[in-house]
Structure 1
Amino acid sequence: MNAIVQTLSAPVVGAGRSVVFRTRGHAHGPVVRMVSPSDVGQMIKPFVFLDLIDTQHAIGQQGYGWHPHSGIATLTLLMDGQCHYAESTDHEGTMEAGDIEWMSAGRGVWHTGFGIPPIKAFQLWIALPAERELAPAFSHHLSVNEIPSDGPVRVLLGRSGEAVSPINAPSGINYFVVELKAGQRWTYQPPQGYRVGWIAVMDGSLHTPEPVDKGELAVFDHSDAAIEFEATADVRFVLGTAIPHPHDLHLGSYSVHTSSAALMEGECEIARIGSELRAKGVLR
């Protein structure tokens, strides 16, 4: 896998991947729901959910109170601001700008969080493979200085060149945050078989070769060909590529599993944890 960066004035004219779908999502207060498991997530699984948060207001318990998950992992990328999170595993912490927090829900977990503005963040859900969807929950917080880089890329999951994320994520998934200056070009060659590809732009704009602007998510055609980018303004975006998730998605209110039996087991576990949290007075 190669990442090539150039700064040139000519337009992008290569024959890389094309955009087959784009959306600006649906706003819910300060949160824009760009991907859900029942819509775009069907196109780009194992990536099944993406929220974009860009707000000058605090995000508190009303927006991100205690809630459960099973069968998925969440990856929170805090680009600007500060937030605090807590989990039913007794893991909690504070995130600063540039940090990420990976939470593998497995068979079940509850979590909560609040943010101090201005806040810019992405929260991603990944559908776990069958061998992980009912495993014990765990999480991993990386500070901005612990995230490996390869040129304009910070490797949140997977690898780019020699830069390898230390997060114990499922194989076959790459997830990067990329920053390019206006006029800068970058070409990304996914590994063989990584036929799922998409980007979401937090700031600025780019050509790929079609224009993609701030607040847009674009899905690429289903192949593992190279993806070409040229920044038309200083830009920050996330890029996900992966081997396609081979299972139908079995959906609960907060859960995604590979089978109805696994979904039932996960939902029973999150109900059990919820009862424990209520007994402790954490939930009302």
Structure 2
Amino acid sequence: MSTTSLSIENTSRKIEYRTRGTGHGPIVRLMSPHDYGRIAKPFVFLDLFEGDAAVIERMPMHPHSGIATVTVITEGDLRFDDPISGSGFIGYGGVEWMRAGGGVWHGKEMSAGKSQRVRGYQLWVALPAELENGPVDSQYIEAAEMPKTGPAYVIVGEHNGVKSPVRAQPGLNYLLVTLPPNTAWEYVPPAGHTTLWMSVSRGNLHSSEVVAAGEFVIFESGEHALQLRAGNEDAVFVIGSAIPHPHDLKLGNYSVHTSDAALRLGEEKIKDIGRRLQTEMLNKQAHTSIPIFK
């Protein structure tokens, strides 16, 4: 729907949970698999990060299995340098997608870009059983190559007939949206997408309640539309909807799986990859950007 003069009615989706998360230096953890991730699954983790552009370079290498990570930038940009994807910049509207599958180590694949500061989100998505111990996949897509409908970049999934090029599993949408001041917008989830959440990076949004910058909210379960209106300044936010993940979450330190057996496989694989990574790092000089290691 276009950004026109929608009125925000009392029938808009109600908020069931809201938080400002827990601060960890330049990173605020809004959702983890131990708390709201059990409610919003397959979305199981969300960090809001902000700081000087070198904040990403201070991120240590770390492993994952059983999940996909999605990184979007709401202000500034970061540089990627990858043997397969080449080099470029992820700014507003662009995305880094990484499906960890059976196991990867990452954290150094992006470095400081052209901006002095950067702000954005990293999201984790729990993978279905057929992918959780499967092959690794990654994409770096600049904003110019990402589809848009109205005020929304379609980061993952499909919205208003516009489909993202990200190779995600079906059944989930993830949008990056900017609404001009005092502009209204309506999100109609696809059939079966009863899970719905949102986080505001800048400005504030009026729905059944006001959601301010830095907040993360989960809406009541259902398929009915969400009506939003920006306040007196631009509102920049991410919104996710999905068919609920049908499995209990089996958690490791860096892994999320559907069963104990799948978790054991993932953790064994990332230990093996870690040993190979350590050997390779001893034999080469440190680089600002290190491709995803699998």
Q: TM-score range by the shorter chain?
A: over 0.9
TM normalised by structure 2 equals 0.89
Alpha-carbon offset, residue 97 of structure 1: 1.4
| Aligned counterparts of 2:221 and 2:161: Cα–Cα separation in 1 | 26
| Aligned counterparts of 1:84 and 1:154: Cα–Cα separation in 2 | 20
1:139-218 matches, within 5 Å, as 139-218=138-217
Alpha-carbon offset, residue 61 of structure 1: 4.2
| Aligned counterparts of 1:139 and 1:224: Cα–Cα separation in 2 | 31
Number of residue pairs matched by the alignment: 278
Alpha-carbon offset, residue 86 of structure 1: 6.9
Instruction: Compare 112-121 and 158-167 and name the one that shifted more.
Output: 112-121
| Aligned counterparts of 1:96 and 1:61: Cα–Cα separation in 2 | 15
**2:270 corresponds to which residue?**
270
**2:22 corresponds to which residue?**
26
TM normalised by structure 1 equals 0.92
- CA offset digits 1:109-149 (Å, max 9, x no partner): 01123445411110000000001101111101111011111
Instruction: Compare 166-175 and 49-58 and name the one that shifted more.
Output: 49-58
| Aligned counterparts of 1:191 and 1:213: Cα–Cα separation in 2 | 26
| Matched letter for residue 95 of structure 1 | F
Aligned counterpart in structure 1 of residue 69 of structure 2, from 65, 71, 74: 74
Alpha-carbon offset, residue 13 of structure 1: 2.1
| Pair 1:73–1:32, CA change in 2 (3 A) | same
Alpha-carbon offset, residue 93 of structure 1: 4.5
- CA offset digits 1:222-268 (Å, max 9, x no partner): 11111010101310000000000000000000000000000000011
Matched, 1:53 2:61: no
| Matched letter for residue 273 of structure 1 | I
| Matched letter for residue 239 of structure 1 | I
| Matched letter for residue 274 of structure 2 | G
- Flag structure 1 segments of 5+ consecutive residues without an equivalent: none
Q: Which has the higher strand share?
A: 1
**2:291 corresponds to which residue?**
none
Alpha-carbon offset, residue 85 of structure 1: 5.2
Q: Secondary structure at the match of 1:281?
A: helix
- Flag structure 2 segments of 5+ consecutive residues without an equivalent: 287-294
> How much is the aligned-residue C-alpha RMSD, in angstroms?
2.0
Alpha-carbon offset, residue 279 of structure 1: 1.0
Matched, 1:12 2:11: no
* Residue pair 1:81, 1:115 contacting (<8 A) in 2 also: no
Matched, 1:225 2:224: yes
| Pair 1:263–1:247, CA change in 2 (3 A) | same
| Aligned counterparts of 1:15 and 1:139: Cα–Cα separation in 2 | 40
